[in-house]
Amino acid sequence: MNHIFVWVATWNDENFTQKKHLIHSLPIHLQNEIHKFKFPEDQNQSLVSKVLLKKMLNTWGYDFKDLHYVQNQKPYIHYPQKPPFFSYSKSIGKVVLVWSWQTDVGIDIEYFHRKTEWKIFQSRLSPSIWAKISNDSNPLNTFLWCWTHIEAIIKLKAIGLANHIKLVEYIDKQWFFENQKIYTQSFNNGNHLITLACHEPFNYEIQEFYFE
């Protein structure tokens, strides 16, 4: 069984006392990227994602200079794809990062209480997924559940969302991409839903980080 590590980071936008220290712990070019954001909430999200990524890289004995971005900006340590594999995602007040030495993986996180006009997505989604959403008694929550799966699968495949979203199918309670079965697992973390996607069966363990 493939094993996947999930890191979940949380912070408080209103009282982020570690912010200055964490920013200065990063290379200058990454500090500049963070400062490009106008709003503090966006700065904080960018900062925590980079700090979590740095922690992961250091765990493996790598640094930011070892990162390469290919195929729709999916990050790799090595290219062509070799372990370790990883993926990350951001939402309101949380960053999630997933990695494995055994198998490639995709991840997505969504905030439960965000307002979404789910009906406008009908033309973009495959018929099987639209049927799952529109026939449910709580279509908004089901849309968010489906959307995290779609995003995680797209990240796993390292392809663009716009041109491939209709290739993701939900049939007989299983997920497929171009008729290839994709293994997924979801879990709640506070007000967020997190979904993992993999080509093979897997288990996972969660580690949480809180930045004050």
In the predicted model, is pLDDT for residue 82 greater than 90? Answer: no
Top-tier CATH class for 2-211: alpha beta
What average pLDDT does this structure show over 153-157?
94
Average of per-residue pLDDT across 159-167? 86
The Cα 38–Cα 159 span in angstroms is 29
| Least confident stretch, 3-12, 15-24, 81-90, 138-147 | 81-90
pLDDT band at 189 (very low <50, low <70, confident <90, very high): very high
Give me the pLDDT at residue 108, please.
97
How far apart are alpha carbons 47 and 44 in whole angstroms?
5
**Tens digit of pLDDT for each residue in 31-69?**
999 999 999 999 999 999 999 999 999 999 999 999 888
Does this model's pTM top 0.85? My answer is: yes
Q: pLDDT digit string (tens) for 5-40?
A: 999 999 999 999 999 999 999 999 999 999 999 999
Q: What residues does each domain of the chain span? A: 2-211
Q: 204 — phi, psi (to 5°)?
A: -145, 160
CB 6 within 8 A of CB 204: yes
Q: Are 212 and 19 in contact (CB under 8 A)?
A: no
At residue 71 the predicted structure's pLDDT band, cuts being 50, 70 and 90, is low
